Chains A and B, each alone.
Chain A
């Protein structure tokens, strides 16, 4: 009889929600590689090996200086890592990649070897959303995978609800939008209307390479160059698609709910320091 069986099963399994963020983050798959790091100082004069192998043209070489690698356009194929003769591009294994400003995703300049991780919302918004954030998801040319991994955050292993974050059915009930896809032209009107229907103050989160920059469809006349072409974006979460851990990190970072924000990741003081309450 399933009723008894399900109860026994639950008792036996116990709590299946991961300890993170109180405990350590689950490990990324070993072949995932995590975020990228660009040591511009190591870059070899006259070389353009990485530019040549980067299919989505995430890397450019603007003149004499080193390269500029746009993590917002990157599909994490690691071809550049293998191609670089100087070891200037490396995988960090770090799941954290979310940034508040588009330019913070561009790596290579001195002091910008790695992503400048997202700062928390300002105090006022954090007081409003910090312990209760309702989001409406809009797929605007999303591939179904980004959407799937947003759904995953609601499953028992991740349990997004424990942070007070919830996906809701109506934009009128939402504090913000989570957008996937490059913003296809056929979705432009619906995306704009959905955004307008969210009451102020509101936030917008772009998830995945397509939503950040158009990704592998950048330049197609049928799409825009990402969500920011249609509405203002407050948080960019790179990945192709982003690992659920990367998305969760981005959301918690935005709400200032990560203990490790106290660690000095951000030389320019963008990180959310102090005023931290422990999660749950």
Chain B
């Protein structure tokens, strides 16, 4: 069934591991050629990163074949200087290659815009001081926004090239939130690792913690108790509900539609409080750990969850109905910030941003792992690629998460929620994908001969999607930036790591 050439890539399932020695190896240019060929055949680039060795840096490519429900990995021989850039054929690789160059000084030759992703050139400077693409012309002016923005939000720098009100080009410079998470994982897992995973992006705690836990479990050659897998799936949807509802409210606020904005702000809190009912923390911190979960749900708690979920869902239904009913809202959402399906596919967008272009990309459906092997969810797609479509997909997902929880809350399997985990196997590579509310959360790890992390790669969905926002602004009035930005609502710290 697979169209893949299995000698060029090793195939594996989501949350599966294989021996590092089994990962096919080739030269740098050959890896680029093979990867480009598979991307052209419908593959998707999940990760492209370096593994440093004494002889040089190997590139590891992780691809997803959504239609075949399979993942594929390959690696290069150790490289020391450069290789022909994959970006030239597949624009979606551009940030991965900049990152590789930044982290390992391996130069993707011919990369059209090679500049740091997170690093600043010298101490005491900031990412906004780097070089920016400029549009020249008498009528063209530049607008610089950030890192500190006008709301309670994370920092990032946006550089617009405008002709009057119209945005010709937007370049986004991030890195302000860099906390050194990947670097700290080398030699791990450490005692603090599981906690750090919960703040890779603090509003996606469950998804990142689950990806990490499943990855460690795969590397240990074990699987957590079924009840833990169920509980993780429940928590994942609670996380989605809170954030999607919050986003709908924030979108309403950006077009001055206050009834939905005010209501959703509160309902979002109600959903966060459901997560707190599960584990005490509104963001789910401290719930998911390698080996299982740290809390269980007793019947009375499940009943309370169910009741409170029902009333929050009813309120969300009502608040969103106003939104769809209002012509003023439609006028501000429709045909604003459009990303076409072809662009989304080329850039490798994920999550609601991709599904709002009609692309069927949802890890829960295409690469089911954990509880999602047993309880499927339909994929919510909407055509159009504009702000309206991104809002609409969120609402469809709110409904589906609500239905999923309604069915699943009472369907938890019996048994423990946590088991002791054996040590990690040496020289293994594993990949774990989880569909967080922003999209695909990807964790890849390689162990050394002692079973410690030799390299750990995290790809937050925002890493794929920030370029989508930049494209959405092309030809748009600069005053539409807030609503476009909100419609993506990407993570700064998830990108910056």
Contact B150 A169 (CB under 8 A): yes
Q: Does the CB pair B280–A190 fall under 8 Å?
A: no
Which residues of B from 420 to 469 have beta carbons under 8 Å from A? none
CB pair A6–B199 under 8 Å, yes or no, is: no
In the bound complex, residues from chain A placing their C-beta under 8 Å from that of B191 are 55
For A75, what are the chain B residues with a Cβ–Cβ distance below 8 Å?
Answer: 195, 285-286
Give the contacts of B265-282 with A (CB-CB under 8 A): 265-266, 268-269, 272-273, 276-282
With known contacts A142-B202, A150-B152, A220–B180 Cβ distance under 8 A: yes
Within 8 A of B (CB), among A119-138: 136-138
CB neighbours (8 Å) of B326 from chain A are 2
Q: In the complex, what residues of A have CB within 8 A of residue B262's CB? A: 155-156
Interface residues in A140-190 by Cβ distance below 8 A to B read 140-152, 154-157, 167, 169-171, 181-182, 184-190
Q: Contact at B152–A31, with CB atoms within 8 Å?
A: no
Kindly state the separation between the CA atoms of A167 and B124 in the bound complex, as whole angstroms: 28
Q: Residue of A at shortest CB range from B284?
A: A145
Q: Which of A10, A55, A184, A188 has the most CB of B within 10 A?
A: A184
* Residues of B with C-beta under 8 A to A76: 281, 286
Indicate whether A1 reaches chain B with its CB closer than 8 angstroms.
yes
* Shortest distance from the beta carbon of A51 to any chain B beta carbon, whole Å: 12
A276 contacts B by Cβ under 8 Å: no
Could you tell me the distance between the alpha carbons of A75 and B277 in the complex, rounded to whole angstroms?
Answer: 18
Which residue on chain B has the smallest CB distance to residue A191? B148
Query: A258 near B: Cβ within 8 Å?
Result: no
Residues of B within 8 A of A157 (CB): 266, 269
A137 touches B152 (CB 8 A): yes
Given known A-B contacts A9-B318, A156-B265, A190-B148, A144 and B154 have beta carbons under 8 A apart: yes
Cα distance A167–B148 in the bound complex, in angstroms: 13
Closest CB in chain A relative to B439 CB, distance in Å: 15
Looking across the interface, which residue of chain B has its beta carbon closest to that of A17?
B266
Pick from A5, A6, A145, A187: contact of B147, CB under 8 Å: A187
CA distance in complex: A145, B176 (Å): 17
- Interface residue A23 (Cβ < 8 Å from any Cβ of B): no
A182 to B295, CA, bound (A): 28
Question: With an 8 A cutoff between CB atoms, is B471 at the interface?
Answer: no
Whether a CB of chain A sits under 8 angstroms from the CB of B321 is yes
Indicate if the CB atoms of A139 and B155 lie closer than 8 Å: yes
Q: Using Cβ atoms and an 8 Å threshold, which residues of chain B touch A150?
A: 152
Tell me the bound Cα distance from A268 to B452 in angstroms.
Answer: 50
Asked if A155 and B266 make an inter-chain contact with CB atoms under 8 angstroms apart, the answer reads yes
Cβ contact within 8 Å between A140 and B259: no
Considering the complex, give the chain B residue whose CB is closest to the CB of A31: B280
The complex places the Cα of A186 from the Cα of B156 at a distance, in Å, of 11
CA distance A190 to B246 in the complex (A): 28
A147 in contact with B192 (CB, 8 Å): no
Q: Which residues of A contact B178 (CB under 8 A)?
A: 141, 184-186, 222
> Which chain B residues border A241 with CB–CB below 8 Å?
202, 282-283
B175 within 8 A of A: yes
CA distance A186 to B180 in the complex (A): 11
Residue A14 is within 8 A (CB to CB) of chain B in the complex: no
- Chain A residue contacts of B147, Cβ below 8 A: 187, 190
B16 located at the interface, meaning its Cβ lies under 8 Å from any Cβ of chain A in the complex: no
Q: Which residues does chain B contribute within 8 Å of A151, judged by CB atoms?
A: 151-152, 265
Do B321 and A147 touch (CB < 8 A)? no
Chain A residues within 8 Å of B246, by CB: 148
The yes or no answer to A217 lying at the interface (CB within 8 A) is yes
Q: Is A29 an interface residue when CB atoms closer than 8 A count as contact?
A: yes
Please give the distance in Å from A239's CB to the nearest CB on chain B. 10
Complex Cα distance, B192 from A56, in Å, reads 6
Does any Cβ of B come within 8 Å of A216's Cβ?
A: yes
How far apart sit A105 and B152, CA to CA, in the bound complex (Å)? 26
Does A194 make an interface contact (CB < 8 A)?
yes
Minimal beta-carbon separation of A273 from chain B (angstroms): 33
By the criterion of a CB under 8 Å from any partner CB, how many residues of chain B are at the interface? 65
Chain A minimum-CB-distance residue to B192: A55
Inter-subunit contact A2/B322 (CB<8 Å): yes
Evaluate contact between B201 and A143: CB separation under 8 angstroms.
yes
Contacts of A167 in B (CB 8 A): 151-152
Expressed in whole angstroms, the Cα–Cα distance for A137 and B325 within the complex equals 34
Considering only CB atoms, which chain B residue lies closest to A16 in the complex? B266
Q: Which of these, B265, B278, B279, B281, contacts A155 with CB under 8 Å?
A: B265
With A77-B286, A144-B203 in contact, do A55 and B195 touch (Cβ < 8 Å)? yes
Chain A residue contacts of B226, Cβ below 8 A: none
Q: Which residues 233-267 of B sit at the A interface, judged by CB distance below 8 A?
A: 246, 259, 262-263, 265-266
> In the complex, which of the residues B148, B184, B266 contacts A156, with contact meaning CB atoms closer than 8 Å?
B266
Smallest Cβ-Cβ distance to A1: which chain B residue: B325
Residues of A within 8 A of B496 (CB): 184, 186
User: Roughly how many angstroms separate A139 CA and B149 CA in the complex, as a whole number?
Assistant: 10
Using known A-B contacts A75-B195, A143-B199, A155-B265, determine if residue A186 contacts B175 with beta carbons closer than 8 Å.
yes
Using known A-B contacts A155-B262, A155-B266, A190-B176, determine if residue A146 contacts B202 with beta carbons closer than 8 Å: yes
* A77 proximity list for chain B (CB < 8 A): 195, 286
Task: State the Cβ distance, A174 to closest chain B Cβ, in Å.
Answer: 11
Contacts of A5 in B (CB 8 A): 318, 321-322
- Report A-chain residues with C-beta under 8 Å of the C-beta of B272: 152
- A186–B280 contact, CB under 8 A? no
Closest B residue to A5 by beta carbon equals B322
Q: Are B148 and A142 in contact (CB under 8 A)?
A: no
Contacts of B276 in A (CB 8 A): 29, 31-32
B167-213 interface with A by 8 A CB criterion: 175-180, 183-184, 191-192, 194-196, 199-203, 205
Apart from A184-B176, A186-B127, 20 more pairs, CB < 8 Å: A6-B322, A9-B318, A16-B266, A31-B276, A31-B295, A75-B285, A139-B155, A141-B176, A143-B203, A144-B203, A144-B493, A151-B265, A157-B269, A184-B178, A185-B123, A186-B126, A186-B175, A187-B147, A216-B195, A241-B202
Can you list 24 A-B contacts (CB < 8 A)?
Answer: A6-B259, A32-B281, A55-B192, A55-B195, A56-B195, A77-B195, A139-B155, A141-B176, A143-B203, A144-B201, A144-B202, A144-B494, A145-B282, A147-B154, A152-B272, A182-B179, A186-B126, A186-B496, A187-B155, A217-B180, A220-B179, A221-B180, A241-B202, A241-B283
User: Which 7 pairs between the two chains have the least Cβ-Cβ distance?
Assistant: A143-B202, A31-B280, A145-B202, A155-B265, A169-B150, A222-B180, A29-B276
